[in-house]
Amino acid sequence: MYSDHTKSFEQRVADLISRLTLPEKVSQLIFINKAIPRLGIPEYVWCNECLHGVARAGNATVFPQAIALGATFDTDLIFKLATAISDEARAKYNISKKHGGTKIFHGLTFFSPNINIFRDPRWGRGQETFGEDPCLTAKIGTAFVKGLQGNHKKYLKAAACAKHFAVHSGPEKLRHEFDAKIPEKDLFETYLPAFKALVDAGVAGIMGAYNRLNGMPCCAHPRLLLEIARTKWKFKGYITTDGWAVRDFHTGHGVTKNPVESAALAVNNGCDLIINGLVEDLMAAVREGLLNEQRIDKALYWLFMIRFRLGMFDPPEKDPYKALGENVINCKKHRQLAKQAALKSIVLLKNKDNILPLDKNISSICVVGPNATNTDILLGSYYGVSSRMVTLLEGIAGKVSKNTTIQFYQGSLLNQANPNPVNWVKGFIEGSDVVIAAMGLSPLLEGEFGEAIGAKNFGDRAGIGLPKNQIEFIKDISEVGKPVILLISGGSPVAIPEIHDVVAAIVYIWYPGEEGGNAVADILFGDAVPSGRLPVTVPRSVADLPVFNNYAMRGRTYRYMKKPPLYPFGFGLSYTRFSYSALTISESPVKIGRKVKVTVNVANRGERVAEEVVQLYISKLNAPLEVPLYELKDFKRVTLKPKQEKQVAFTITPAMLEYVDNSGVRILEPGDFLITIGGVSPGSWQKELGAARTVQKKLNVSALKK
């Protein structure tokens, strides 16, 4: 029956499992599934990545890093981007099959997206996330999953996996032994909502985190995996460990004595797949009575359901994606999409006297800095490779007039003082009209445990500023008196209070992907208007942050941070000016449990067509306990012509008015709520940054339902 494609997947999976011997069953619980020729089951490797493009599988479109995708605040764009990724994934899978089998990293089960909350800017893997906010993360993550998995009524195009369930954001050095102690309120208010949203969106997989949560390893956490995901949320996909997470049970966390106990604990407590697990350990667990065949069958059910839904056991003619081939890989359409994503992610943080955009016919430019020709800063982490990467210098050179003089001098190393102390660059700057300084971070300085080889903290950052030598270099060249345009690359907040007032303009470019150089040049020279918004808060210094390994949210992110930021969540300037007016609420007071429509007028007061990210925030006033200062609840991108005004509408649902109590329960109560709509998160700092573009109004919710 399992080979009869007219039967339901449920029937076929049950039949196939019934035909397997115990050793054959166990062989399918580790990430390299051995072939079972007698039943026509091919070998399959589950380990694949596509965080911002198909990774580790050869030539592919390299889209901007995940944190940059968060900065777009554009769910439609992310859906298109993820659709392109799944096209390339299917193409690589099809090509691999034609050559005799599916190689590692050429499969269809992807360990993406990473929807952990970027709670602390020191975390090296924060670049893999969509930012610090649960709402933004949920919406961008949902769009990514839907684009990746496709909308076929029967088959998945690719299988997404939400990771790392449920809390994982450093310290990287301690991730194999660390216990994240989290209050129930923070767990259900901050760390779980995005995972719940992706489960509701039909995500195919969930990956557990390395660390413990309140005493129990996340990859063997019965409350997380069985009670919350399986029972409460009705999750219908597979659950996998992270790589080597099971080994950590006995080597780092000390909750088991040996690999056999660890393997049994993971499977019994909800994990269906063990990355880097050993068949021998699982078989020993069965022999010792620690693991029974019934639980193995349950795990196999979810694993085989994914493979059947991917069409791996159906005849080729039934495959709706069989036509996808090498012509879609890094094709022109996908490169254009990569550039569009980079354009919408770039955040303009300062533009003194409207120095930007620059004139393409400018007489002379001096480009300096360690990242001007650095391909690493296009890639970020978990990347594919492209045959056509456009560096910042190449993008600038390709944009200006042929009569423009361009000089390039690196001038500064990435994160250490120059052994040669003579700064010859200053002499060349004197003859230039403007200096473009390509500074910032790189994947050498921030990233995953073991990968950021220039980071002393195993991928994390000790501070949140630029390297000291870069700060000194910027100050030094600024003494010449020429305007400096500062380009900052990176995947995390970079605090630059020492040089904010020194430079003329600041542009945060993230890790912008293969078209990064062209996208940055479009922004610098006015072929595009900056519209990216910060998906993270940039504190003034690390002194404004709680201790790194404290997972409680008090004092963290725009939702709980009371100290004024250097740059706030949701912030980003434009080449035009937007204004907000006429905030209306359809009814107030409104009876509890009813939806409310709110509208606001948004106007473009400038001379350029531009996009504004309209953000809706809600604050619970006079709450009986500490609640977020503000919470993003929805957002919309709006395109406005010069002098055009549009009315933008949002629907406030009862769920948006709930708060989470100290036991983790969501509460909807009558009372007053502050509704804020604008182009940035609320706060008293707005006038200081020239960003006062929000309007507010109270909403009263009465006690009686209609």
User: Do 506 and 350 meet the contact criterion of CB atoms below 8 Å apart?
Assistant: yes
Q: d(Cα 436, Cα 503) in Å, to the nearest integer?
A: 10
Going by C-alpha positions, the residue among 651, 647, 634 that lies closest to residue 600 is: 647
* Amino acid, res. 352: K
- The rounded radius of gyration (Å) of the Cα atoms in the chain is 26
Q: d(Cα 25, Cα 272) in Å, to the nearest integer?
A: 12
From the list 242, 272, 281, 460, the catalytic residue is 242
* Amino acid, res. 50: C
The pair of three-digit structure tokens given for residue 225, joined into one six-digit string: 């995996």
- Residue 448: left if φ>0, alpha if ψ -120 to 50, beta else—which one? beta
Going by C-alpha positions, the residue among 165, 269, 164, 196 that lies closest to residue 226 is: 269
The H or E element that residue 659 is part of is strand 659-660
Told to judge if 242 belongs to the known catalytic residues of this protein, a careful annotator would answer yes
DSSP 3-state assignment of 133? coil
* Amino acid, res. 315: P
The pair of three-digit structure tokens given for residue 263, joined into one six-digit string: 């393997």
DSSP 3-state assignment of 468? helix
User: Do 304 and 16 meet the contact criterion of CB atoms below 8 Å apart?
Assistant: yes
What are the helix and strand counts (H, E) for the chain? 19, 24
Q: d(Cα 601, Cα 659) in Å, to the nearest integer?
A: 28
For 23, phi then psi, to 5°, come to -60, -35
DSSP 3-state assignment of 342? helix
Q: d(Cα 573, Cα 193) in Å, to the nearest integer?
A: 29
* Measured CA angle at 220 (ends 216, 221), to 5 deg: 55
Residue in the structure block whose two tokens are 């975390």 = 123
DSSP 3-state assignment of 589? coil
Give catalytic residues, as residue numbers: 242
